[in-house]
Structure 1
Amino acid sequence: MIAKIIYGQTCRGTLDYILGKEGMQVLGYGNTFSQDIPPKFFGSLLHFQGQRNATKNRYAHISLNLPHDEHVDDSTFFEISKEYMEKMGYGEQPFMVVRHNDTKHEHVHILTTNVNDKGQVLSLYNSKRRSMATTGYPETKYNLEPVPRTKQEKQLPIFRLPETRTNNDDIQGTRYYIQDVLNRILQRYKVRSFEELARLVKPYHIEVRQTQSTTGRAGVAFGLDNRQGYRTRFINGSRIHRQMSGPKLQRIFDSHKRSKLLPMHRKRLLKQIGTTYDLFKTIRPHDLKEVLKEYKGMDIELDIKRDTIEGYTIYDKSGYVFREKELGKHLSMQKRLDIFGNGDAWTEINIHSKQFLIEMQKLIREAIRTSYLKSKQKKGLLSEHIETLSFTDIVPILMESEKHRFLEKYMSSEQKHLFRKNLQETFPKIQQRIHDTETIKEKEALQGKFDLIGDVLRKGVFNVGATDGSVRHLFQALGVKYRNNKLLFNDSEKYSLPVPLGNLPFPKKMEEHVSNGFVRQNHLMLEMMIKQDVDNVSKQTAISFFLPMVFPGLFKRMNSDYRQRYERLALGAYLKHAERMHASFEKSPKDYIAFFNAKGFYFEKGESGINIKSIYTNINSSYKMPKRTNLYLGSIPDLETTLKQQQPVLENLIKNRRDNLKNLWAGHLMELGHYDRVAYMLTNESVYPNLDRKATIHHMDKGLRKAIQERIASKNTFKQNRLLRKGVYAIGSLLDKPTGNQEDYNGFKDELTDYTKRRKNRGISF
């Protein structure tokens, strides 16, 4: 189900539209003294209440649209509408639900006001995101076909075009169809003129006509002509929608024309098309579309008139639409007859061109790097890996490469043989070039780690020293090791820096190797705390929050001032990630709070706004919520009560010993779709993810349940019964329905993840 919300300053025009449609049916009213009232009387009540505030968004016009060929009866549709309004925060507002039958998909219109009976404006924050989440619940409850949520999957609803008929005065159906198509066209493309708009809407049988009033004011009108016996008279743009009038559309077009990014996009396209021409010896005009798509990922359409190709139109990823003539005459197909003027000659790559040599070198470089990333025993640095490579080692990777397949596609058999020979001959040069480049980078990286360690020790970020060997924790967290008065990379002996610390009392068995991703995030975090590097803030990811779990020996020695600074930055990084993960489930600001509570985070009101805290960090560590989120959460009528309701949820997590980063990590992996790893943690370690039940059910259905079952089935008979009990109990626990009597297991009282020692006085206050 798709919901569309339009806010307006008046409701009279909308009332006329939804009540004036032929065959319309009033399904009912919400929050009125009776269900048996005339629609016009309701309109007067709505108008009176909305006029009690001077806001421009006094009224809301909402349409709920079912997927094509989906059907529900009137009473069910009314119930769906009431539930939607309740969840969107209109539960106490007067509203009217009207059903229309003028299109091939069933839909209702809901008219209400954003002004309550006290003259105050309701919260409209995040309404589009909340609406997307809200429409998902009726789909599940009433077994409706789910609608794709991603932009890539959405297509313009061509099926909504009115069928062939003779009634050319069906203005309301035409108006609604044109409004829908224009909205999506203008969202998808950065249109710059009425002529361009006319070309974009032509496939949807919409015609555009520029008009001029008696006073000389420019306007626009739209009409339908499907060339199959159905044609409407033209409707002024302002009647389609107040934002579709000629002057307002012209302002949008002018804004897109003035954009400073426009020349940059044009320059990029010039280079992309130019390099394509440089790569090919001949191109059949009809193959250009496929060539540009495969080589540069560009979307173009050939402009064909009477079997003659007159040029092409580029639908750029930036949203701009470019005609061939805009990019320069030298790129015109008619001006490049050396490439396009060879009759029906096959499209063929010029293997002697400079561009082909560049592409061949790129191909080898990508294969070398890919071989390093895919190596089963990934030990050592990239430069060391390169030293051991031979051409035969990268041949399988080359054969799997899409770029390699693209190049060979436009070669003859003889050229393919020569191409492979050239690859083999070019390999040693590229190998040496990459090796030299990486050697310089790796030396600089080791020096950078050495400098950072010096800064960390001088500023006393961690209470580590050489006498007790605890400095090894800092080395490990930065991916280096100390041996014989030298600092080296953790997984390589190739480079070293002199560090005269003497014989340190390190344990015989050092900690296990840590993922490069955690090391990189830890490096960025330490740089940011020491150097106040603002640029590194954008590079921080949710992984930053889990650094104490990965490097417990180091972070438990962190000084209190730096600890608070770290936890504030880590909370901010995790907040951004969690908001994206919750978006498809969040239908209200209360949901926003509930989803964070289930993960072990909570909110407090401070003097300067609302702050977020967690059960995994110090009681004094917090992150100030952005201004818009502050307003969003502040719109909850009973905010104080809602904040107090957080305490039982968090106390339950602590009581069940789930106040551990390992539980949050399991939920994090689940959100990212790493179901195999979550299944292992559930069945082998009894670690239950801290995640809201709604999100958990979603992931169980999406693949987690299957992963758990496969995990159980993969074990041998001796272990299977024990694992089966754990797996069944795990599934039940995730859904808050225990299916066994297994005793709660705290599997993380160890040096890696036990934080109770450093948080002796931790408490949660509301």
Structure 2
Amino acid sequence: MIGQLVYGETCRGTLNYVFGKEGMRILGYGNTFSQGISPKFFGSVLHFQGQRNATNNRYAHISLNLPHGEHLDDGTFLKISKEYMDNMGYGEQPYVVVRHTDTKHEHVHIVTTNVKEDGKVLGIFNSYRRNIATHQHLEKKYGLAPSPSPKTKQERQLPLYRLPELQFGMEATQGTKFYLQDVLNGINQKYKVRSFEELAKLVRPYHIELRTTKNETGRIGVAYGLNNQKGYRTRFINGSTVHRGLSGPKLQKVFDTHSKSKLLPMHRKRLLKQIETTYALFKTIRPHDLEEVLKEYQDIDIKLDKKEDTILGYTIYDKSRYVFRERELSPIIRMQNRLDIFSNGDRPTEIDTESKQFKLEIQKMIREAFRTSYLKSPKQDGLLSEHIRTKNLGDILTDLTASKNYLFLDRYIQNNRKVLFRETIKKQFPIVKERLYQLEIRKEKETLENKFKLIRDVLKKDVFNVGTKQGSVRLLFQSLGVKYHDNQLSFAQSHKHTVPVKLDKLPFPDAMESYVSSGFVRQNHLMLEMLTEQSSENSPKLTASAIFLPMIFPKLYEKMNAVYKKQYESVALGSYVKNAERMHTPFEKSAKDYIALFNAKGFYFVKGEEGFEVKSIYTDNKTSCPLPKRTSQYLGSIPDVTTTLKKQYPVINNLAEQGRNNLKNLWVGHLMERGMYDKVAFMLTNEKAYPNLHKEMVQHHMDNGLRKSIVEVSERRTSIQQNRLLRKGVYAVSALLGSSRKKSEEVYNGFKDEFTDWSKYKGRGLSI
């Protein structure tokens, strides 16, 4: 099911269309004193209530569309419509549900107002996101076939299934107007259009024609018409009649903004370089193969411009949402100007194995194979430079030949050049190996120096209450992936590089050099840079995993001084909330859901003087993080917000009473959201660590593959050898999670976190 929303300043035209369609059926009214009122009376009620506020978005026109072949009886469709309105925040507004039968897919129209009886405007924040979550929820609840619901506006598929037909009629207030709204709004959401000419080309596949005018003052007008080339054509309708945002002046303002963007030249330059690089790699390109070549090699989407059988050029649909003609980037990339590549008729597309670009691709492929093999190594012993030094071509050949780049090159190299391809790899291997080795040595030395400077600043500012007499400074060393020995600082897993540090003899236990996840080391490094004010706007941003640092380094964070601890907890809260909001999108049907989803994770909201703040059961009660203004307005739009906030505390208190105010419970839920079901399954079955996650989300992941993983891990327990191996890894995790076992160490082993999980490099990334 797909829900579409359009807001407007008037409702007369919408109601005329909804009630005037031949064969329409009124399924029911919402929040009217009777179900027996006339359409005319309802229109008067809606009109007068909407006029109580001067907002431009006074009225809402919603359509709920079923996929082809799906059927619902009137009663069920009305019930679904009422639930949709409740979840979207319109449950107490007057509305009408009307069923139309003029298209192949079943659908209803709902018309309502955003103005409440007291004249205030409903909080319609996050309506697009809530719309997606709501119709996905209703699909599941009522057993409807899932539709290709987009997760973002950019992914929105335009309504091809609503192509105009004769029964749409000739009036602007009829179906033509709403078809135009759907397509034109969708195009302008999906692309950053810069001219009416460009817009005309983008809407042509949807049988829409544009006509522009300019008066004496230079004011541009636009009108739209339909022509399906099958004998059906409408008169042209003024843009302002279709929708106020689709008038000539309004669109021209948008086009000017897109055309003047400071990023536009950068996008042109990037694309030009990518296309020139592609041309430099090939000896010949069959024109019809160019779409596939650019997509596979540079991830660029293009469409060939054809007139009958003649290819005139191509249009680029860039990831920046801009649309470019190839001649706009540069004349030198036009197919007509590159006859050295494109004039060979039916000659097959072939890579130029003598070109400089071919050698560069080989070198890039070898470098990536080195890094992939290092990430795949079970323990990642030593540094990358040491890994590179010890490997020969045979050691990385499997990763090299499985890479995307290798498969691409192999596909377009002629059979009689395959031997040369392999010989080039052999020839380039020692060259690349030495260059990469020297590069990594320089980077590693610089990294170690930076860690030394960071440690110096952390100690100078007393971020942690660690001293050298008892050797507790080792906790800081370990959290940054370094160790101290013989007055020298070095990486925890290598002695290759050192920095002199005179701390005399310290009582360090042997266990301090145990492996710690590189992902959490990076997060801790970024956090300490932030606390010591070494970070800048260009520094890498903290991720949701920052909140788990006390779980990974418990002994160190227990020694964090109060002032810095409050600062850390506030920043970590903000980082986690940003990630959680993205994860919640498919489940968040309303502002109440926003609160409920966070409550299940152990987070709760309080209303302060300047807006809402978020707190958690994992941090000090006095620690909070302010929510953005718009999010605060979103939560404030709940009619009974005070009551809703009070309902948080039984949920929060219950988690604490069950002993689930431990970060390990949040960690299991985090792994579950990231789709790492094998790790979650083992922690569930062996560690009895249950996720702090909303039951609806848990059920989603169970159906998505977690149930299967649990069964597999449970069966695997019958193997003593496998069980010991897995348990060894989980014991390390348990130690970090605050286990009371005597043998626990402050290490992270066995299960690699999401930062070091190499499987994602092989196309087996996150499942959600």
TM-score, normalized by length of structure 1? 0.90
Q: Which position in structure 2 is the counterpart of 1:249?
A: 251
Asked if 1 retains the 8 angstrom alpha-carbon contact of 2:493 and 2:513, the reply is no
Q: Which position in structure 1 is the counterpart of 2:383?
A: 381
Selected match of 2:692 from 664, 687, 690: 690
Counterpart mapping for 1:580-595 below 5 A: 580-595=582-597
| Offset, 1:447 | 1.2
- Matched residue SS, 1:386: helix
Selected match of 1:475 from 474, 477, 499: 477
Separation in structure 2 between the aligned mates of residue 77 and residue 720 of structure 1, nearest angstrom: 52
Asked if 1 retains the 8 angstrom alpha-carbon contact of 2:169 and 2:175, the reply is no
Q: Which position in structure 2 is the counterpart of 1:308?
A: 310
Separation in structure 1 between the aligned mates of residue 689 and residue 177 of structure 2, nearest angstrom: 56
Q: Which position in structure 1 is the counterpart of 2:701?
A: 699
Q: Which position in structure 2 is the counterpart of 1:436?
A: 438
> What residue identity is the alignment partner of 1:88?
M
In structure 2, stretches of 5+ residues that fail to align are 724-736, 747-768
- Matched residue SS, 1:304: strand
> What residue identity is the alignment partner of 2:63?
S
> What residue identity is the alignment partner of 1:378?
Q
Q: Which position in structure 2 is the counterpart of 1:601?
A: 603
Is 1:179 matched with 2:177? Answer: no
Q: Which moved more, 1:30-39 or 1:298-307?
A: 298-307
Counterpart mapping for 1:390-409 below 5 A: 390-409=392-411
Q: Which position in structure 2 is the counterpart of 1:732?
A: none
Alignment RMSD (CA, Å): 2.5
Q: Which position in structure 2 is the counterpart of 1:610?
A: 612
Deviations 1:112-162 (A, max 9, x none): 122222222211111221222122222122211122233586533323224
Change (3 A) 1:334 1:55: closer
Paired positions, count: 729
Deviations 1:231-260 (A, max 9, x none): 434333333323222333333223322222
Q: Which position in structure 1 is the counterpart of 2:727?
A: none
Asked if 1 retains the 8 angstrom alpha-carbon contact of 2:287 and 2:342, the reply is yes
Counterpart mapping for 1:324-363 below 5 A: 324-363=326-365
| Offset, 1:615 | 1.0
Separation in structure 1 between the aligned mates of residue 518 and residue 217 of structure 2, nearest angstrom: 69
- Matched residue SS, 1:509: helix
Q: Which position in structure 1 is the counterpart of 2:754?
A: none
Asked if 1 retains the 8 angstrom alpha-carbon contact of 2:66 and 2:107, the reply is yes
| Offset, 1:316 | 1.7
Separation in structure 1 between the aligned mates of residue 567 and residue 250 of structure 2, nearest angstrom: 48
Separation in structure 2 between the aligned mates of residue 451 and residue 329 of structure 1, nearest angstrom: 51
Is 1:237 matched with 2:236? Answer: no
Q: Which position in structure 2 is the counterpart of 1:446?
A: 448
Q: Which position in structure 1 is the counterpart of 2:415?
A: 413
Asked if 2 retains the 8 angstrom alpha-carbon contact of 1:148 and 1:154, the reply is no
Q: Which position in structure 1 is the counterpart of 2:466?
A: 464
- Matched residue SS, 2:225: strand
Counterpart mapping for 1:99-178 below 5 A: 99-150=99-150, 154-162=156-164, 169=170, 172-178=174-180
Asked if 2 retains the 8 angstrom alpha-carbon contact of 1:50 and 1:114, the reply is yes
Change (3 A) 1:168 1:608: closer
> What residue identity is the alignment partner of 1:20?
G
Q: Which position in structure 1 is the counterpart of 2:659?
A: 657
| Offset, 1:18 | 1.4
- Matched residue SS, 1:111: strand
Q: Which position in structure 1 is the counterpart of 2:30?
A: 30
Counterpart mapping for 1:515-526 below 5 A: 515-526=517-528
Q: Which position in structure 1 is the counterpart of 2:639?
A: 637
| Offset, 1:374 | 1.8
- Percent identity over the alignment? 63
Selected match of 1:296 from 298, 308, 320: 298
Separation in structure 1 between the aligned mates of residue 131 and residue 87 of structure 2, nearest angstrom: 9
Change (3 A) 1:603 1:107: same
Deviations 1:260-290 (A, max 9, x none): 2222222222212222222222222222222
Q: Which position in structure 1 is the counterpart of 2:648?
A: 646
Change (3 A) 1:536 1:638: farther
Deviations 1:184-224 (A, max 9, x none): 22221222222222222222233333356899964333333
| Offset, 1:657 | 0.8
Asked if 2 retains the 8 angstrom alpha-carbon contact of 1:166 and 1:229, the reply is no
Separation in structure 1 between the aligned mates of residue 738 and residue 273 of structure 2, nearest angstrom: 57
| Offset, 1:293 | 1.9
Deviations 1:569-607 (A, max 9, x none): 111111111111112111222211111111111112223
Separation in structure 1 between the aligned mates of residue 722 and residue 452 of structure 2, nearest angstrom: 49
Q: Which position in structure 1 is the counterpart of 2:749?
A: none
Change (3 A) 1:641 1:749: farther
Asked if 2 retains the 8 angstrom alpha-carbon contact of 1:298 and 1:314, the reply is yes
Q: Which position in structure 2 is the counterpart of 1:575?
A: 577
Q: Which position in structure 2 is the counterpart of 1:98?
A: 98
> What residue identity is the alignment partner of 2:614?
I
> What residue identity is the alignment partner of 1:127?
S
Q: Which moved more, 1:584-593 or 1:516-525?
A: 584-593
Separation in structure 2 between the aligned mates of residue 214 and residue 77 of structure 1, nearest angstrom: 52
Separation in structure 2 between the aligned mates of residue 339 and residue 136 of structure 1, nearest angstrom: 48
> What residue identity is the alignment partner of 2:210?
V
- Matched residue SS, 1:482: strand
- Matched residue SS, 2:146: coil
Q: Which position in structure 1 is the counterpart of 2:532?
A: 530
TM-score, normalized by length of structure 2? 0.90
| Offset, 1:528 | 0.3
| 4+ long deviations beyond 6 Å | 212-216, 717-721, 751-754
| Offset, 1:430 | 1.3
- Matched residue SS, 1:334: helix
> What residue identity is the alignment partner of 2:508?
F
- Matched residue SS, 1:617: coil
| Offset, 1:665 | 0.5
Separation in structure 1 between the aligned mates of residue 137 and residue 459 of structure 2, nearest angstrom: 53
Q: Which position in structure 1 is the counterpart of 2:759?
A: none
Asked if 1 retains the 8 angstrom alpha-carbon contact of 2:156 and 2:186, the reply is no
Selected match of 2:710 from 685, 708, 715: 708
| Offset, 1:409 | 2.4
> What residue identity is the alignment partner of 2:147?
V
> What residue identity is the alignment partner of 1:271?
K
Asked if 1 retains the 8 angstrom alpha-carbon contact of 2:102 and 2:167, the reply is no
> What residue identity is the alignment partner of 1:557?
K
Separation in structure 2 between the aligned mates of residue 145 and residue 753 of structure 1, nearest angstrom: 50
Separation in structure 1 between the aligned mates of residue 120 and residue 170 of structure 2, nearest angstrom: 41
Deviations 1:498-554 (A, max 9, x none): 222222222243363110000000011011001163437761001110000000110
Change (3 A) 1:534 1:343: closer
Change (3 A) 1:583 1:378: same
> What residue identity is the alignment partner of 2:131?
S
Deviations 1:687-718 (A, max 9, x none): 11111111111111111111111111222189
Is 1:18 matched with 2:18? Answer: yes
> What residue identity is the alignment partner of 1:507?
P
| Offset, 1:92 | 1.6
Change (3 A) 1:536 1:639: farther
Change (3 A) 1:225 1:58: closer
> What residue identity is the alignment partner of 1:11?
C
Asked if 1 retains the 8 angstrom alpha-carbon contact of 2:526 and 2:540, the reply is no
In structure 1, stretches of 5+ residues that fail to align are 722-745, 755-766
| Offset, 1:311 | 1.6
Change (3 A) 1:537 1:638: farther
Separation in structure 1 between the aligned mates of residue 543 and residue 476 of structure 2, nearest angstrom: 21
